[in-house]
Amino acid sequence: IAGALRPRETPWWRAERERLLALATPGAPRYVYHLPTVRARARALAAIEAVDRRYYAIKANPHPAILAALVEEDFGLECVSLAELRHVFDAVPGLAPDRVLFTPSFAPRAEYDAAFALDATVTLDNVEALQRWPETFRGRALWLRVDLGRGEGHHEKVRTGGLASKFGLPVARIEEFLTAARALDARVTGLHAHLGSGVETAQHWRSVCDELGGIAERIGSIETIDIGGGLPIPYQDDDEPFDLDAWSAGLAEVRSAYPNYRLAIEPGRYLVAESGVLLMTATQVVEKGGIRRVGADAGMNALLRPALYDAYHGVHNLTRLEEAADAAFDVVGPICESGDVFGKQRRLPAATAEGDVLLVADTGAYGFAMANTYNLRALPAEEVLA
């Protein structure tokens, strides 16, 4: 039934509790990634017939084992910097350049030159670069990233469309772009849009596909339509899993109107978020003004999403997983900022104490990738469970 909702799965880490407890080291927070979960998500997307090409947005989690697994699952890799490009060729020996997409934003000229030299597929989203750097783009095949006039996503900071956004060429300037490209003998072979991250409505991609299809018909030289990433995952206990059936049914409907183009997607979060947990150790439990706080040896240095986007991640006491979560704690980190809070009034066992292992769920996407050394705290460690 279109729109039928899948039951929420039991997270993998419940069955792996003993292995995870053995990996936890006080003072050394660690991300752990579960490759079978990555592969399961990859296969769910690979089964969708309307989609011809799948790229993984490696910025979500560039761990080499994850890249290798996804290439094995027939995904290409989407990169946004020269360092990411170099990284994927190092991490996946023998990676075919035609599986690599370069979709940077305001990159310096040298990065475009290097991407062409590596034979990656290059996406450009403005006319100015063509005008200023004709020798970089002369005679090349290019993808064009357009701004469909609106942004979407879980937070204002991850919406990548609309005139106020730095991303994408406004649709009204496409003619101008094509004229500039023609003058350089450059061919526009792909059309790309990514409007944001953590988009909840399955119909979003249907309309992006429809809009890009319409534009492609007018351009004439387009071979591939790339409708971006942005697929959400259920972070909260009562969030429904994303309805892939409704998503693919919507795509299949519009796709049939544009049979001459390959349809591509480039998700990041959907593939890896649920595969990752952050293990940290409780440092102190302190009561103040009626609020009980448990501190951990990792904070916004290890996982920036709560501080940056007010993002929700489940927090569990892995040491006391069998005990009832019968008390409320604010879960905080060791960083000298008042925003260093994983979550407020979270349910944890009342006996939660120094030395307990705390698990932060669904941190496989944009977790380690955005970690930093603020307060000179070390980067978290990483471990992969095959």
Task: In angstroms, give the least distance from the CB of 15 to ligand LLP.
Answer: 26
Is 62 a residue that touches ligand LLP (CB under 6 A)? no
Residue identified by tokens 């909260």 is: 236
Residue 196 contacts residue 151 (beta carbons within 8 Å): yes
How many CB atoms are closer than 10 A to CB 372?
11
Task: Show Cβ contacts of residue 186 under 8 Å, excluding neighbours closer than 6 positions.
Answer: 130, 137, 138, 139, 140, 141, 142
Q: By C-beta, is 78 or 356 nearer to ligand LLP?
A: 78
- Backbone φ, ψ for residue 269 (5° rounding): -50, -45
Is 202 a residue that touches ligand LLP (CB under 6 A)? no
Q: By C-beta, is 266 or 356 nearer to ligand LLP?
A: 266
Both tokens of residue 150?
Answer: 């609106």
Task: In angstroms, give the least distance from the CB of 339 to ligand LLP.
Answer: 15
**114-150 burial string, b = 16+ CB within 10 Å, else e?**
bbbebebbbbbbbbebbeebeebbeebebbbbbbbee
Residue of 229, 276, 314, 334 interacting with ligand LLP (CB under 6 A): 229
User: Which secondary structure element, helix H or strand E, spans residue 88, and what is its range?
Assistant: helix 82-91
Task: In angstroms, give the least distance from the CB of 33 to ligand LLP.
Answer: 15
Is 41 a residue that touches ligand LLP (CB under 6 A)? no
Question: CA-CA distance, 71 to 77, in Å (whole number)?
Answer: 8
Task: In angstroms, give the least distance from the CB of 17 to ligand LLP.
Answer: 26
Please give the residues from 79 up to 118 whose contact with ligand LLP meets the rule CB under 6 A: 103
Both tokens of residue 40?
Answer: 């399961």
Question: CA-CA distance, 266 to 200, in Å (whole number)?
Answer: 16
Task: In angstroms, give the least distance from the CB of 182 to ligand LLP.
Answer: 25
Stretch that binds ligand LLP, among 43-51, 203-211, 228-236, 327-335 (CB under 6 A): 228-236
DSSP state string for 24-86: -BTTB-EEEEEHHHHHHHHHHHHT-TT--EEEEEGGG---HHHHHHHHHTT-EEEESSHHHHH
Stretch that binds ligand LLP, among 66-74, 114-122, 194-202, 314-322 (CB under 6 A): 194-202
Q: By C-beta, is 54 or 184 nearer to ligand LLP?
A: 54
- Backbone φ, ψ for residue 8 (5° rounding): -70, 135
User: How many residues make contact with ligand LLP (CB under 6 A)?
Assistant: 22
Residue 184 contacts residue 212 (beta carbons within 8 Å): no
- Choice among 1, 4, 164, 336 that is catalytic: 336
Residue type, 362: D
Residue of 250, 267, 314, 349 interacting with ligand LLP (CB under 6 A): 267
Residue of 111, 266, 297, 356 interacting with ligand LLP (CB under 6 A): 266
x/- string (CB under 6 A) for ligand LLP, residues 123-162?
A: -----------------------------------x-x--
Please give the residues from 288 up to 347 whose contact with ligand LLP meets the rule CB under 6 A: 305, 309
Residue of 177, 247, 329, 366 interacting with ligand LLP (CB under 6 A): 366
Task: In angstroms, give the least distance from the CB of 60 to ligand LLP.
Answer: 5
Residue of 92, 231, 246, 296 interacting with ligand LLP (CB under 6 A): 231
The per-type count for the chain, helices as H runs and strands as E runs, is: 13, 17
Is 276 a residue that touches ligand LLP (CB under 6 A)? no
User: Which secondary structure element, helix H or strand E, spans residue 123, and what is its range?
Assistant: strand 121-124
Residue of 24, 50, 60, 251 interacting with ligand LLP (CB under 6 A): 60
336: annotated active-site residue: yes
Q: How far apart are the first and last CA of the chain?
A: 34
Residue of 104, 161, 168, 228 interacting with ligand LLP (CB under 6 A): 228
Q: Which positions touch ligand LLP (CB under 6 A)?
A: 57, 60, 78, 103, 158, 160, 194, 197-198, 228-231, 266-270, 305, 309, 365-366
Catalytic residues: 336
